[in-house]
Amino acid sequence: MFLLALILILIFSVVIHEVAHGSVANYLGDPTAKYAGRLTLNPLKHLDLFGSFLLPIATYVISGGTMVFGAAKPVPINPNNFRDQKYGSAKVAIAGVATNFLIAAVFGLILRFLLGLNIVSGVTSSVYDLLTYVVFINLILGIFNLVPIPPLDGSHVLFTFLPPSQEDFKNFLMRYGWVILIFLFIFPIGSFSLLNSIFNMAAFFYKLLVGAPLIL
C-alpha cells in the first residue's frame, strides 16, 4: 500500500514536470504539446509503462525501499517554433526542474511547520512520512534532470551555452547519452557514484528545507 502511495506521488510529480515543459513551450510560441493534449494533469495522457510503473518498482526494490524513481512520456516540443531561438530550449528545460524544486520547497516548509508544532505522532506520522517522500522524490527528480547528459533537461541548458566549436561533442552526447547515463548509474568511477551523489544532494537539500535530517 505504501509502495502504491509512493508511485502515485511519483506519477503526479513527473506529470507536473512534463506539463511545465509543455506550458512554457506553448508560452514561447510552440503549441505542439497543447495540440497533442499534453497540457493536462490527467496522468493517463502522460504515463509510460516502463518509466511510470516498472522503473519505480525496480528502483524501490533495488534500493531496499529507500528510493523510488521514474519518468513520464516526454511532451512533444518543436524548438523551431520558439520566439526565443537562443534561450527557448533552456527555458523549457528549466521549467520542469524548477517545478519539482518548487513542489519540494512548498511541502518541505509544511514539514518544517509540523515539526515546529511538535505534532508528528500517531496518524500524523504516516502523513509526515508521505510528505517526506513528496519532498525527497521531487528533489531527486530535479537534481537528476539537471545532469547535463541527453535526454535529461540539463543537456538542453548545456547545449544552449555550448560554443559552435563543440558541435562534435554535442553530437557525441546526443548519440550516446543513454549509454553514458546507464554506465554512470551502474558503475562507480573511483569514489564517484552518480546514484549516491544524487541521493546525498537530495538529502542535503531536504535537511535545508525541513530543518531535520532525512529518515527513510
Dihedral sign of CA atoms 194, 196, 202, 205 in order? negative
205 and 138 Cβ atoms separated by less than 8 Å: no
Of 142, 146, 34, 138, the C-alpha closest to 90 is: 146
Catalytic residue among 9, 18, 100, 210: 18
Q: Is 167 a catalytic residue?
A: no
Q: Is 58 exposed, middle or buried (0-12, 13-18, 19+ CB in 10 A)?
A: middle
Length of the chain: 216
Active site residue ranges = 18
